[in-house]
Amino acid sequence: MQKVYRKKTKEKGVYELVSETKTHQGKPDICYYITFKLDGKLTWEKIGWLSEGYSVKLASEIRIERTRAIRFGQDLPQQKKRAILFGTLAGEYLKWAKDTKSRGGIDDKSRYENHLKNRFAEMRMDKITPFDLERMKSEMQKAGIAPKTISHCLGLIRAMYNKANDWGHYQGPNPVKKVKMPTVQNARDRFLSFDEAKVLLQELKHDIRFKKRYKELEDPKLHDIALLSLHTGARASEIFNIKGQDVDFRNGLIALRDTKNTETRYAPMTADLREMLTRRMPEKSDDYVFTDSNGDKINEVTKSFERVVDRLGLNNGVTDPRQKLVFHSLRHTFASWLAIQGTPLFTIAKLMGHKTISMSFRYSHLSPDHKKDAVNGLETAFNGHVNKVIEMKTGDKE
């Protein structure tokens, strides 16, 4: 078999190779190559086929670009590193999040594995476009995924690209910058009445199926977790982080660490909580107060809570997801009860761990007495002023 060689063309440094098998428009196809010196060595680069739209002239223009780049010390395309896979970055990012972020990056890991891994793990970072993210957003919306979750996923991608840039893994644009974040309207107004809370706690305490699941027939764990949230406004993640050393019986305080705003806050201990925590104190001060049946830290509220809520009918007829009773509603209930009894918003903000008092204004409508007093006072002043004027006029007429 005769060996086929590249032949020089009339253009400097441009060669062509006539194919013995490929054809284009009834003639043998031609592949173009260019050659130039890089670091003192002769370098060959394949440009492309005639059937792909390349020509001698185009190959020559590309060669001129290459030589100009070399002259000015710029990287050539073949010298540029391929962008890493999104999944490779995710592995590094999640390890970093576990070591540095609050709650050990559990939320980031969950969002990646549930929503991003199957979609982007095998794509290189420079191949993920704003269009890909818009399509992801649209598909998640159609699947009924909450706007807040979608927003968190986009935020995670943005943070990962930023970190990749900091770590020198990627130097291109961040595709999230050109994606509009979904509108989030997830403020929950639903809170329990005192009677509803009492019934719920009673049912959680005697939920036999829950006890069987944890193989602890005399351990109403879910009841105690719910009680702590109702009496302190603590989030589930904050409750699961409580260790023996965080419970101060002498001063009646519970330290809530690794909170959402990364600041430690102290929750006053009610009599019911004191009794419950006394019973639950671990042997070692650095052990968690609440653990699963294997003695490991709990990371999420069991589905038993949702099942009990459904059995009690507390969500019957509720179609708006924002109005459905979920575990987080217990935190909202705590703040609502405080507002109803006239607790100042500043105090509510401190107890809830809100960074600004504006975050507590959502509860202001539940403490309307000061508004009523203000309006009633205005009415009294107005009526008194009118009567006084009328009396003066009557006196003038006489």
Q: Are 275 and 253 within 8 A, CB to CB?
A: no
Superfamily the domain 194-366 falls into: Intergrase catalytic core (1.10.443.10)
- pLDDT of 13 reads 95
CA distance 360 to 379: 29
Q: How many CB atoms lie within 10 A of CB 366?
A: 17
Q: How far is CA 241 from each of CA 97, 128, 201, 282, rounded to the nearest angstrom?
A: 17, 37, 22, 13
Assigned token pair, 175: 């595709």
Average pLDDT over residues 365-372: 56
CA distance 242 to 362: 28
Q: What is the CATH number of domain 7-79?
A: 3.30.160
- pLDDT of 39 reads 81
User: Which stretch of 6-10, 90-94, 160-164, 366-370 has the lowest confidence by average pLDDT?
Assistant: 366-370
CA distance 326 to 191: 10
Residue 205 binned pLDDT confidence (cut-offs 50, 70, 90): confident
Average pLDDT over residues 53-80: 85
Q: Are 239 and 205 within 8 A, CB to CB?
A: no
- pLDDT of 290 reads 94
The secondary structure of residue 34, as a DSSP letter, is E
- pLDDT of 79 reads 57
Instruction: Say if strands 247-248 and 41-49 run parallel, antiparallel, or are unpaired.
Output: unpaired
pTM above 0.85, yes or no: no
DSSP state string for 178-225? GSPPPP----------HHHHHHHHHHHHT-HHHHHHHT-TT--HHHHH
Q: Are 205 and 186 within 8 A, CB to CB?
A: no
- pLDDT of 258 reads 78
Residue 364 binned pLDDT confidence (cut-offs 50, 70, 90): low
The secondary structure of residue 4, as a DSSP letter, is P
The pLDDT > 70 percentage for the chain reads 82
| pLDDT at residue 208 tops 90 | no
Q: Are 31 and 16 within 8 A, CB to CB?
A: yes
Instruction: Say if strands 247-248 and 14-24 run parallel, antiparallel, or are unpaired.
Output: unpaired
CA distance 254 to 268: 6
The per-residue pLDDT for range 8-30, each reduced to its tens digit, is: 999 999 999 999 999 999 999 99
Query: Rounded mean pLDDT of the chain?
Result: 84
Residues 6+ apart with CB under 8 A from 312: 199, 200, 203
Residue ranges in 13-129 assigned as alpha helix (H)? 56-71, 86-100, 106-111, 117-120
- pLDDT of 78 reads 63
Number of separate helices (H) and strands (E) present in the chain:
15, 7
DSSP state string for 60-83? HHHHHHHHHHHHTTPPPGGGSPPP
| pLDDT at residue 357 tops 60 | yes
- CA 48 to mean position of chain CA atoms: 45
Q: What is the CATH number of domain 86-178?
A: 1.10.150.130
- pLDDT of 397 reads 44
| pLDDT at residue 355 tops 80 | no
- pLDDT of 187 reads 62
- pLDDT of 36 reads 93
- On the 0-12 / 13-18 / 19+ scale of CB atoms within 10 A, 271 is exposed
The per-residue pLDDT for range 212-221, each reduced to its tens digit, is: 444 443 458 9
Start-to-end C-alpha separation, the chain: 134
Average pLDDT over residues 290-311: 89
The per-residue pLDDT for range 241-250, each reduced to its tens digit, is: 999 999 999 9
- On the 0-12 / 13-18 / 19+ scale of CB atoms within 10 A, 160 is buried
- pLDDT of 148 reads 85
Q: Hey, where are the domains in the chain?
A: 7-79, 86-178, 194-366, 370-398
